[in-house]
Structure 1
């Protein structure tokens, strides 16, 4: 009898209303990723992981597209991933500059 109540709730309009609230809480909790990336902007570029930054750039692009493809469009999710895209691109430029355009280190005991 209790499982019958569960299934009737699961397929009811109340259930749909309940599930739509995740349209808000999912993106809100997801804002931890761009916040962490923005806090990392002041840290040493040596600590940046190039492959992870690249993955997060692609991840944010995919979910920015997804947020506009769903009905109703999820502007909060789009905003979250837009901010993350900007932060990750900044981290990617910092990583590239540090590893490929950095000034060469002068070895001790040798003069320039």
Structure 2
């Protein structure tokens, strides 16, 4: 199965745009790897939204991570050049932490646990 000359030209143009000097330079900076490594926090929080029982959520830690993400969202836009990958990481984390915080508040302050305490 051979590809047409138009497909070869298109794929070469795309490869030249994606794998250029600027892109490769960016891939080897902390502007890229910092946010990529930070994505572990929101991924874990999203997984916990479904799997972690609400009684095991730490309120102080959830609050700290919520404030941390809010600060770093601001920081990602204050630096030069702006780091949109870092912004995306902290937007996702902020949403996940707010979800965890809502679960924490619902469990500890809005739900009665009298039946469980009696057992």
Query: What TM-score do you get using the length of structure 2 for normalisation?
Result: 0.72
Q: Residue 70 in 1 paired to residue 70 in 2?
A: no
Q: C-alpha offsets along residues 28-64 of structure 1, whole Å, 9 cap, x if unaligned?
A: 0000000000010112101100000000000000000
CA deviation after TM superposition for structure 1 residue 105, in Å: 1.8
> 2:40 aligns to what?
32
CA RMSD, 1 decimal: 1.5
In structure 2, stretches of 5+ residues that fail to align are: 1-24
Give the match's secondary structure for 1:73. Answer: coil
> Which is helix-richer, 1 or 2?
2
* Separation of aligned partners in 2, 1:35 and 1:26: 15
Give the match's secondary structure for 2:114. Answer: coil
Q: Residue 97 in 1 paired to residue 106 in 2?
A: yes
Aligned length: 91
* Separation of aligned partners in 2, 1:104 and 1:36: 27
